[in-house]
Amino acid sequence: TLSSKTALVTGSTSGIGLAIARALAAQGANVVLNGFGDAAAIESARAGIESEFGVKALYEGADMTKPDEIAAMVREVEGAFGSVDVLVNNAGIQFVSPVDEFPPEKWEQIIAINLSSAFYTMRAAIPGMKARGWGRIINTASAHSIVASPFKSAYVAAKHGIAGLSKATALELAPHKVTVNCISPGYVWTPLVEAQIPDTMKARGLTQEQVIQDVMLKAQPTKEFVTVDQVAALAVFLCTDAASQITGANLSMDGGWTAQ
């Protein structure tokens, strides 16, 4: 159980992050939601977590491209709840384009959100974890932290980067009972995946059905999407005592994709 613990999940107003926040709340953790979206929908997700799981839930709107806002968010959470015990770096965006046409501002944005934000949350939250002698840092990486696909240069670079950042940090924090791991899903059916279908159709000259079957599920031998609840269940497991010796690992949940 995670009661009396606090979990901060970046990019948790939607998709995988929201499922992880809800699953940690179900274990008794107070949770902090972060991300963008419709204010009323975010408030209803936040209030829903409180009423459904009997925990406290806070919303922090920090922009993961802004190091100052990230540091302020961690300080506010520590002020409100006393600690950040579980840090899930999950915020992420995708952009699909040939590398020579890739807009530089999209490159910078993807590196900032998908990689650098984790450095900034960690450097803010780690001193408290070290002081308390317990912590769990879980980074939502991707199959693209292990293998590549064409037209996703920034995303693949950022995800390989976060895999390396996780390993280095895991070694540093091993003596402090703080574990750092990546969860690397294959294709999970979320708004992020749905939104990249039109661009992939354009970049590869395919229909929507061809993108789903021949591009996305082609890579995944099970021919099924991963669910957000499956990813969340692995995040919950990484917070247990049974997982205390799992650190510096990059755990795939990709229907066999990266075994090929």
- What are the catalytic residues? 155
Strand order in the sheet with 30-34: 57-60, 30-34, 6-9, 86-89, 135-140, 178-185, 250-253
Q: Is 153 in the site for ligand NAD (CB under 6 A)?
A: no
Among 27, 28, 65, 157, contact with ligand NAD (rule: CB under 6 A): 65
Q: Is 11 left (phi over 0), alpha (psi -120 to 50) or beta?
A: left
Q: Is 163 in the site for ligand NAD (CB under 6 A)?
A: no
CB 114 within 8 A of CB 152: no
The stretches of the chain forming alpha helices (DSSP H) are: 15-26, 39-53, 67-81, 104-111, 117-132, 153-173, 191-204, 208-210, 228-238
79-138 residues in contact with ligand NAD (CB under 6 A) are 90-93, 113-114
As beta bridge partners, residue 231 has none
Q: Which stretch binds ligand NAD (CB under 6 A): 8-16, 47-55, 166-174, 199-207?
A: 8-16
- Residue 224: CA atoms inside 13 Å, Cβ hemisphere, count? 7
Min CB(5)–ligand NAD separation in Å = 22
Q: Which stretch binds ligand NAD (CB under 6 A): 60-68, 98-106, 207-215, 233-241?
A: 60-68
CB 2 within 8 A of CB 239: yes
Min CB(94)–ligand NAD separation in Å = 6
Cα 88 from Cα 6, distance rounded (Å): 11
Q: Is 188 in the site for ligand NAD (CB under 6 A)?
A: yes
Min CB(143)–ligand NAD separation in Å = 6
Choice between 113 and 178, CB closer to ligand NAD: 113
Among 191, 207, 223, 240, contact with ligand NAD (rule: CB under 6 A): 191
Cα 14 from Cα 131, distance rounded (Å): 32
User: Taking CB under 6 A as the rule, which mask of x and - marks residues 192-211 in contact with ligand NAD?
Assistant: xx------------------
Q: Is 67 in the site for ligand NAD (CB under 6 A)?
A: no
CA–chain centroid gap for 147, Å, is 18
| Residues that bind ligand NAD in the complex, under the rule CB under 6 A | 11-17, 34-37, 63-65, 90-93, 113-114, 140, 142, 185, 187-188, 190-193
